[in-house]
Amino acid sequence: MILCLLIHVSRTSQGLPVRQAGVIAGEMIQIGRGAACPVHLPDHRVALHHASVRRADDGSLHMDAAGEAMLKIDGIIARSVVLQPGMRIEIGPYVLGVETAPAGHDIALSMEKVHAPDGHETAVGLKQPVTLEALGFGKRTLGAVLAACILLVFLLLPMLPGASQALDKWQADLPVTLNGSWSPGSLTGGHALFEAKCSTCHKRPFQAVADEVCTGCHTQAGKHLSNETLHKRAFGSMRCTDCHADHKSRGKLRHDAEKCVACHGDIKRINHDSKLADAHDFATGHPAFHITLPEGVDADGVERVVRLRQQDKPVERPALKYSHKIHLDKTGISSPEGDTVMQCRDCHRLDASGEHFAAMTMEKTCQQSACHALNFTEPVEGIVPHGSERAVMSRLREFYGRWLADAPENRTQCEAAVGAPANSVRATLDCVNDLARRNGAATLFRKNAECGECHEITPVASTDVPWKVTPLRINRDWQPGAVFSHAKHGAMDCTACHDKMNSQKSADIAMPAIEKCRECHVGKSPARGKVVSACVSCHRFHNGEGK
């Protein structure tokens, strides 16, 4: 049993010691920061159980350090010590002084916290800034600096060219323009010329690009409707940029059907008198095709056309007798150059647009392979030109005049036949005219042969040219309201769409119906293996009515 007088020493404000004594007893006296230790040294530098005082076999009192703890005895580090009065034992910030034990006590220990309060004793340089705040980073400052830079470079500078034309012109030549950062995307095609100078189109701040800016250059762009009132009703608030959004997409033109369907989905709402059917989508809501046929020229010299529904099976009246079946016979058609198997493109040749076909002519189309030569054989051999009836007759007269001049016996015989006085000019002319008429009727102007093999011929009351050939009206644009590129469909057989192999008459129309197009094309909703086709795939907005 050790009986220990423990004296707590504290200091007054003047530095004078105040001693408070208490007695503790035990087999061993534990020293540490743990609450269970009778000598309680509440500081983190002191171990939970730092040391203990024990009585040795010889009766002396020892102080032993516990665990890894160390004792500092009169400035010397030790693990164990025999306690002697006058000793100073440092444990953390505390100093335990061994004093002479009063009577009845085994030992007296004074206990004083001598070092400065916690936190002031760390070695110089140990404690560096331990939080990011302590490094002086300011969230608000950094944010404000970033925001100010952004507002300067991306808001203020781009606005400046709008304030001064001179500045605008100057900055356009800079490698990086002031307002380039505002451009949401590069300009397409020729518009790229204006890339550095926004004010070319954006004339006034906070005002939308006016249509006049577009039409100032694009003078050829026609209106969709020729009727002004109707145009205003349909497109009152629309701007060019509603459909032509440059900068923002890779193409300049909108391909969606929204704007078209806004009117054409219920066309009567816009124009009560419209003859057009409603259209929503090529696959699911498009009217059947119409066929447009020429009706000849009216009194004012304007070509008239008629628009007919395809399902009514209209017929063409080209005034031409022609059988596709005979010409496209797979075994070939006889020609002066031998039997020839003809192809569609032998006659139908695409023009430069790739959309329509070049006009067919007698020389280039019908007389290829020396076919359809215009010979006449009675009574002399010759060739007449393909042209007007009068030109044919003149050629005949020329032939017969020469024939009579070259053979006097023929002339005598002829003049006798016409009953005119011999050797008179009158008699010769009558003779030539008579021969030309008779041989023209017999060899050329026949109803179903020679000229009549292809043309409709009607006799007329005229002594000079007693036949009239009905003029041809071969249609070249069956659907003027749409564009169709034959060039783009070049990989297909013509007969896949145009069923002409068995057509025996030129009246047959072989334009494909909408169902044929829908075998490959769908509307705006994509479908596997089909081509998405918007309104503008076939129709042109600016080409005026009917396109």
Collect all residues with Cβ–Cβ distance below 8 Å to 338 and sequence separation of at least 6. Answer: none
Stretch that binds another protein, among 151-159, 304-312, 325-333, 345-353 (CB under 8 A): 151-159
Between residue 276 and residue 305, which ones bind another protein under the rule CB under 8 A?
Answer: none
| Dihedral (CA of 57, 62, 66, 69) sign | negative
Report the residue from 54, 55, 72, 473 that binds another protein according to the rule CB under 8 A. 72
Residue 154 touches another protein, criterion: CB under 8 A: yes
Using only C-alpha atoms, the chain has a radius of gyration, in whole angstroms, of 57
**Could you say whether residue 77 binds another protein (CB under 8 A)?**
yes
- Residue 76 makes contact with another protein by CB under 8 A: yes
Q: Give 41 or 374: the residue with its C-beta nearer to another protein.
A: 41
Residue 424 DSSP code: -
Q: Find the distance separating the first CA and the last CA of the chain, reported in whole Å.
A: 120
Residues paired with residue 431 on neighbouring β-strands, in sequence order: none
Contact between 314 and another protein per CB under 8 A: no
**Contact status: 207 vs another protein (CB under 8 A):** yes
Sign of CA dihedral 156, 161, 167, 173: positive
Torsion angle of the four alpha carbons 491, 493, 494, 497, in this order, in degrees rounded to the nearest 10: -100
What is the distance between the alpha carbons of residues 358 and 24, in angstroms, rounded to a whole number?
A: 126
Place of tokens 């409709």: 456
275 touches another protein (CB under 8 A)? no
In the complex, minimum distance from the CB of residue 269 to another protein, in angstroms, rounded to a whole number: 21
Q: Choose which of 2, 24, 70, 482 interacts with another protein (CB under 8 A).
A: 70
**Is the separation of the CB atoms in 382 and 376 below 8 Å?**
yes
Q: Is 250 in the site for another protein (CB under 8 A)?
A: yes
CB of 284 to another protein, least distance (A): 13
Six-digit token string for 254? 């909108």
Which of 142, 217, 262, 492 touches another protein (CB under 8 A)? 142
Q: Which of 1, 18, 132, 461 binds another protein (CB under 8 A)?
A: 132
User: In b/e form, how buried is each residue of 370-389, taking b as 16+ CB within 10 angstroms?
Assistant: ebbebebeeebebebebeeb
Binding mask 44-63 for another protein (x = CB under 8 A): xx------------------
For residues 249-283, one letter each, b for 16 or more C-beta atoms within 10 angstroms of the residue's C-beta and e for the rest, the string is eeeeebeebebbbebbeebeebbeeeebebbbbbb
Q: Which lies closer to another protein via its Cβ, residue 147 or residue 441?
A: 147
Buried b (16+ CB within 10 A) or exposed e, 334-366: eeeeeebebebeebeeeeeeeebbeebeeeebb
Among 126, 299, 302, 352, binds another protein (CB under 8 A): 126
Tokens of 247: 């900068």
- What sign does the CA torsion over 385, 386, 387, 389 have? positive
Alpha carbon distance 283, 523 (integer Å): 5
188 lines the binding site for another protein (CB under 8 A): no
* Count of beta carbons in the 10 Å neighbourhood of residue 430: 17
Taking residues 80 to 109 in sequence order and writing x for each that binds another protein by CB under 8 A, - otherwise, the string is ------------x-----------------
Distance between CA atoms of residues 401 and 184, nearest Å: 82
According to the binding rule CB under 8 A, does residue 119 interact with another protein? yes
Q: Which is nearer to another protein, 395 or 524 (CB)?
A: 524
DSSP β-ladder status, 382-383 and 457-459:
unpaired
Task: Specify the residue, 140 or 330, whose C-beta has the smaller distance to another protein.
Answer: 140
CA–CA gap between residue 326 and residue 453 (Å, rounded): 13
Q: Which is nearer to another protein, 144 or 405 (CB)?
A: 144
Q: Is 362 in the site for another protein (CB under 8 A)?
A: no
By the rule CB under 8 A, 237 interacts with another protein: no
x/- binding map, residues 494-533, to another protein, per CB under 8 A?
A: ------------------------------xx--------
Contact between 164 and another protein per CB under 8 A = no
Q: Does 151 help bind another protein (rule: CB under 8 A)?
A: yes
CB 109 within 8 A of CB 99: yes
* Using rule CB under 8 A, residue 411 touches another protein: no
Residues lying near another protein in the complex (CB under 8 A): 43-45, 68, 70, 72, 75-77, 79, 92, 118-119, 121-135, 137, 139-140, 142-144, 146-148, 150-151, 154-155, 158-159, 162, 179-186, 198, 202, 205-209, 245, 248-251, 254-256, 524-525
